[in-house]
Amino acid sequence: MKEQKRIFDLLLQYEERFPEQKLALSGKEGKNKWHEYTPKQYREAADSLSHAFIAKGISRGDKVAIISTNRPEWTITQMAATQVGAILVPIYPTITAEDYRYILNHCEAKLLILEGEIVMRKIQSVHNELEYLKEVYTFVDRKDFPYWDQLLEFGRQNADDKTLEERRAAVSEDDCAMIIYTSGTTGTPKGVMLSHKNLMSQLANLKQIPSPWSKRALSFLPLCHAYENMIVLLYQSLGMTVYYVSNLATIAEAMREVHPTMMTAVPRVLEKFYEKIVASGKTKTGAARSIFDWALNLALKYKIEDEDRTPWYNAQHKLADKLVYSKIRQGLGAENFDILVSGAVSLQPKLCSFFSAIGMPVFEGYGMTETSPVIAVSCREKYGREANTVGFPLGGVDVQISGEGEIICRGHNVMMGYYKSDDQTREIIDGNGWLHTGDMGRFTKRGQLVITGRLKNIFKTSMGKYVNPQIIEEKMVQSKYIDQIVVLGENQKFVAALIVPDFQALKDWCEAEKVVYTHNGDMIHNLNVKNLIKNEIDRYNQELSKTEHVVKFELLSDEWSQENGILTPTLKVRRKKIAEKYSGLIQHIFES
């Protein structure tokens, strides 16, 4: 069997490698119906789309853009574009019209396929300013533009197998396959060029992580992000059926319908899962409640390595699994689960223990778009999966810690460069090929990588002391009453914080303490609530150096999200936005 060197080789060899596989891709249509593609239908749809691209004049190296949530047609578009030698440009469906104007002009996209009424209106508002765009299609018929079914039919009517095969043969593993524009926490988006080799090398070094029996994957993180895109390619390389969820609000429902064996998540999603599980236990009474609470506390003490758990713990765990954990898995639709991969930001150790204990083992990974994206990841080796670490460096990737404490790497994962920006490329990749991540880290004695913060986020107080806000934030969010936090204090005499409480936990506490709960905006000014949060801060301050102690704080009632611009699509906080939005409040903290 031929070696798989280009993205579309996964498609071309799918039926041969996995003859037993009946379903390749599936996406939810409406409330109940799943739109399914067999391997043959998947290949035929991609080929028809490729024929359409060729007939529409898409040449080798041209850019095909896609703005959409997760759906099978997203992946079909990726395969169709790359096998004609075009470059796919995936774009987030949550950004502004001005961002669309910039990205589509910068990459010189010739054809765009989009999803959603809101996105379509944004594109229409800047359509006359898009210099290179010749064709716009929507996935469903929205009357204003031609749509997906028409494009496929056009491809079928203009099928030219000989030309398509010639176009495939001309594609090299060193060719650019994708340009992914970084969402970023500051500045103008940069187009990261990733080659077929960048992406396929990732798969070669990750394929041993899922179990051979794992065959049902759920995809709900944005496919336009390098992390989820690479994982979905991995699923295909292993012959898994990929079920796409376009709406985060329907994840739980989809899990119960699909019964996945593997999926990815970000810590924020896992925190929400955990909170709902804990809340479900509070509805129980009597012995059932006592058993649930006992099992929950037991799970939080779970040790990942077998030898680190005592026979007594294992006996209790076996009973807890029978009485509680198996029912949690059943409720989640995860009865037969293999692994859950977490990335973007660090996961609280208690959540790593909890999900591993209930039979949904968490594998943490680390990387960035510029590294295709994986630099390090948990694995099945001994101590390959430890809380507070992101595992060992990926095979074929050299990772070191610079003299400044920065994580640097080089290898098959390092991008081709930033599109149209040699200067910015040289700023991040030095003359010896080392990519400078901007993250700080260290290695454990066993060789696992630990992320300790962002270089640019470290600040110096007016007393000349350096403070790493990430360390403080990760400590404070261990409190069940603190949902989101940003630590401040650059050029100030002390460290302070803006905090969004966990309002559900706050309501429960108020009910238990006989404190009248009115509404979120009122409760952040309640003296009892402020004292509660202060006590939590004081408790975690004891685990920090005196320089890192949070001295003052303010509570906020508005949750930070993508919608209000505070979080990136991967749920990282845009600190610059925080500083702008709450400038008056921040000034008050340090002047009062």
Q: Tell me how many domains the chain contains.
A: 3
- Residue 113, phi then psi, degrees to nearest 5: -120, 130
d(Cα 411, Cα 406) in Å, to the nearest integer?
17
Say whether both 272 and 318 belong to one domain.
Answer: yes
Domain with residue 485: its CATH number is 3.30.300.30
Strand, coil or helix: what is 342? strand
- Find where tokens 């798989």 sit: 4
Say whether both 473 and 550 belong to one domain.
Answer: yes
Residue 112 in domain: yes
Burial class (CB in 10 A: 0-12, 13-18, 19+), 107: buried
Say whether both 364 and 471 belong to one domain.
Answer: no
Say whether both 485 and 430 belong to one domain.
Answer: no
Neighbour count for residue 121 (Cβ, 10 Å): 12
Residue 245 in domain: no
Residue 337 in domain: yes
d(Cα 79, Cα 199) in Å, to the nearest integer?
13
Residue 520 in domain: yes
Per-position pLDDT tens, the chain of length 592:
688 999 999 999 999 999 999 999 999 876 778 999 999 999 999 999 999 999 999 999 999 999 999 999 999 999 999 999 999 999 999 888 999 999 999 999 999 999 999 999 999 999 999 999 999 999 999 989 999 999 999 999 999 999 999 999 999 999 999 999 986 545 688 999 999 999 999 999 999 899 999 999 999 999 999 999 999 999 999 999 999 998 877 888 999 999 999 999 888 888 888 989 998 988 899 999 999 999 999 999 999 888 899 999 999 999 999 999 999 999 999 999 999 998 766 788 889 999 999 999 999 999 999 999 999 999 988 888 888 889 999 999 999 999 989 999 999 999 999 999 999 999 999 999 999 999 999 999 999 999 988 888 888 887 788 888 888 988 898 898 998 999 998 888 899 999 999 998 899 999 999 999 998 999 999 999 999 999 999 999 999 888 899 999 999 998 888 777 788 766 678 888 888 889 889 988 988 7
Q: Is 213 in contact with 261 (CB distance < 8 Å)?
A: yes
d(Cα 360, Cα 264) in Å, to the nearest integer?
11
Say whether both 275 and 290 belong to one domain.
Answer: yes
Residue 107 in domain: yes
Tell me what pLDDT residue 249 has. Answer: 79
Say whether both 489 and 433 belong to one domain.
Answer: no
Domain containing 553 equals 458-591
d(Cα 58, Cα 76) in Å, to the nearest integer?
16
Domain with residue 430: its CATH number is 2.30.38.10
**Smallest Cα–Cα separation from 165: which of 18, 51, 13?**
51
Label each residue of 10-28 as H, E or C.
Answer: HHHCHHHHCCCCCCCEEEE
- Residue 567, phi then psi, degrees to nearest 5: -105, 145
Tell me what pLDDT residue 381 has. Answer: 86
Neighbour count for residue 544 (Cβ, 10 Å): 16
Say whether both 446 and 316 belong to one domain.
Answer: yes
Say whether both 403 and 487 belong to one domain.
Answer: no
Tell me what pLDDT residue 339 has. Answer: 93
Residue 293 in domain: yes
Say whether both 466 and 385 belong to one domain.
Answer: no
Tokens found for residue 198: 């960048």
- Residue 411, phi then psi, degrees to nearest 5: 150, -165
Tell me what pLDDT residue 275 has. Answer: 87
Residue 486 in domain: yes
Neighbour count for residue 285 (Cβ, 10 Å): 8
Which residues are registered as beta bridge partners of 363? Answer: 341
Domain with residue 125: its CATH number is 3.40.50.12780
Residue 243 in domain: no
Question: Most distant CA pair in the chain: distance in Å?
Answer: 76
- Among 228, 255, 276, the domain boundary falls at 228
- Among 205, 228, 251, the domain boundary falls at 228
Which residues are registered as beta bridge partners of 218? Answer: 243, 263
d(Cα 486, Cα 477) in Å, to the nearest integer?
10
Say whether both 116 and 33 belong to one domain.
Answer: yes
d(Cα 140, Cα 9) in Å, to the nearest integer?
28
Helix (H) or strand (E) holding 386: none
d(Cα 389, Cα 276) in Å, to the nearest integer?
26
Say whether both 270 and 397 belong to one domain.
Answer: yes
d(Cα 141, Cα 83) in Å, to the nearest integer?
26
Q: Which residues contact 31 (CB under 8 A, 6 or more apart)?
A: none
Say whether both 366 and 284 belong to one domain.
Answer: yes
Tell me what pLDDT residue 185 has. Answer: 47
Determine the Cα angle at 219 with ends 217 and 225, to 5°: 135
